[in-house]
Amino acid sequence: MPDAPIAYILKRFPRFSETFILNELLAHEAAGSKTHVYSLLAPPDEPRHARLAELKAEVVILKAHGKGPDGVPASGDEALFSGKTPQEIGALLRKASAVADDARARGITHFHAHFGSDTTTVACLAARAIGGTYSFTAHAKDIYHTYVTPEADAEMRRAKLREAAFVATVSDYNARHLSGLCPEARVTRLYNGIDLAAFTPVGAALQKPGHLIAVGRLVAKKGFDVLLDACAELKARNVPFALSLVGSGPMEETLRAQRAALGLEDLVSMDGPLPQEALIDKMGTAQAAVLPCVVTESGDRDGLPTVLLEAMGRSLPVVTTTVSGGPEIVRDGLTGRLCAPGDATSLANALEDILVLPERARLMGQAGRRRAEDLFDLKVNASRLRRLIRDPARATHEAA
């Protein structure tokens, strides 16, 4: 009998900013596994990556599944639904019921969710309904952001951690946090992977001297406001540079205004979101990549920014901060530079170090490519995840 599909539960699929999920699914299929996706919500109206056309998985967009009553948590499940209204609880219960019904028909007995949020709640409920198991990959906002209160959020996260067959997370930093939160949970560090065949080393002849690239959603935790302040310092020091800021998000107008106030409009382009294929090309002209992550007031922060791994695949030196998984990506002075979060002067110093010593920067980029090959190979890391999904008990003894 063939293996059941690898079943993912996601909030919205596809989503332009979550290329790592698409790439992971494609890696499973390339290895011969069948995949199936349950999406809690309809995908946003936004551009699509070209590789989405390669995905064979059927995507089921879940509705609230009928007109049942509003939700009442089962005894002992109050923590699982922390902060939810009866209407929200009811919608999650009905969606979990729809997943369970569909999964029975497909022979699915295990669900894997990305993010320890509503997706994992539905995975947990659906697994209970069919007598199966679930797991999830924890990233960043889902484990650090304050949604209700720190205490209530911690209880909600413990409820999901305790019941999961295993929990993968994208950095050792996260793994320590989750194990401290719930010592009995089966937590394993599993880095995001990148397609090393797509993100190939940059040819020096194509690089534009002084060209920096920064990629990400325009949200507070990316630290792009700090980056603009650092660019103003570079301008004041007469360090030649040009920055391409790639992405969109709620801070776009604020950042545009800051760029204008700092007199950086000729030096910093705001290029909007790019599909992965165009991003690969743009990285090919850059001398370095930068993402100055910070911790927000709510506790939100990046986990392990995929774009930095992609830049390393392209043999670019990367500049980031010591937040979360940053030190696991960058070996300071060897594959790029680390600096203090929220410190524009420290960031400007790190960028200047890259820009004025291009030969050293080139050697950093080559070392970064080797590090990407060792740690962030999509084929290898997706294979590890498949082994855990097929045999969750491995999580108790398999190191990622």
From first to last of its 400 residues, the chain has per-residue pLDDT tens of 467 899 999 999 999 889 999 999 999 999 999 999 999 999 988 888 899 999 999 999 998 655 555 677 777 789 999 999 999 999 999 999 999 999 999 999 999 999 999 999 999 999 999 999 999 999 999 999 999 999 999 999 999 999 999 999 999 999 999 999 999 999 999 999 999 999 999 877 788 999 999 999 999 999 999 999 999 999 999 999 999 999 999 999 999 999 999 999 999 999 999 999 999 999 999 999 999 999 999 999 999 999 999 999 999 999 999 999 999 999 999 999 999 999 999 999 999 999 999 999 999 999 999 999 999 999 999 999 999 999 887 665 444 4
Coil/strand/helix, residue 60 = strand
Q: Where are the alpha helices (DSSP H) in 82-117?
A: 86-106
Q: Which two tokens stand for residue 333?
A: 């002075």
- Sheet of strand 6-12: strand arrangement: 58-61, 35-41, 6-12, 110-114, 133-138, 166-169, 187-189
Contacts of 351 (CB under 8 A, 6+ apart): 212, 230, 234, 239, 241, 288, 290, 319, 337
pTM above 0.85, yes or no: yes
Note every long-range contact of 376-380, with CB atoms under 8 Å and residues 24 or more positions apart, other chains counting.
376/191, 376/192, 376/193, 376/194, 376/309, 376/312, 376/313, 377/193, 377/194, 377/196, 378/23, 378/24, 378/27, 378/193, 378/194, 378/195, 378/196, 379/27, 379/30, 379/31, 379/193, 380/193
Q: Give the pLDDT score at 112.
A: 98
Does 204-375 carry CATH code 3.40.228.10?
no
Query: Among candidates 191, 170, 167, which has minimal Cα distance to 179?
Result: 167
pLDDT digits (tens, 9 = 90+) for 340-399: 999 999 999 999 999 999 999 999 999 999 999 999 999 999 999 999 999 887 665 444
For 2, counting Cβ atoms within 10 Å of its Cβ (0-12 exposed, 13-18 middle, 19+ buried), the class is exposed
SS3 content of the chain, % helix, strand, coil (to 5): 45, 15, 40
* Residue recorded with tokens 């950095």: 171
User: Which one of 3.40.50.2000, 3.10.450.50, 3.40.50.620, 3.30.450.70 gives the CATH number of domain 6-193+377-396?
Assistant: 3.40.50.2000
Report phi then psi at 58, rounded to 5: -80, 135
Q: Give the pLDDT score at 68.
A: 53
Q: Give the pLDDT score at 397.
A: 46
Pair type for strands 58-61 and 110-114: unpaired
For residues 26 and 55, the answer to whether their CB atoms sit within 8 Å is yes
CA separation for the pair 270, 257 (Å, rounded): 12
Q: Which two tokens stand for residue 328?
A: 């696991």
Q: Give the pLDDT score at 206.
A: 81
Q: Give the pLDDT score at 1.
A: 44
CA separation for the pair 167, 250 (Å, rounded): 31
Q: Give the pLDDT score at 39.
A: 98
Same fold, 6-193+377-396 and 204-375: yes
pLDDT digits (tens, 9 = 90+) for 269-285: 999 999 999 999 999 99
- Domain ranges (residues) in the chain: 6-193+377-396, 204-375
Q: How far is CA 371 from CA 27, 64, 104, 315, 326, in A?
A: 20, 45, 42, 10, 14
For residues 136 and 112, the answer to whether their CB atoms sit within 8 Å is yes
Contacts of 159 (CB under 8 A, 6+ apart): 77, 79, 80
Q: Give the pLDDT score at 17.
A: 87
For residues 11 and 115, the answer to whether their CB atoms sit within 8 Å is yes
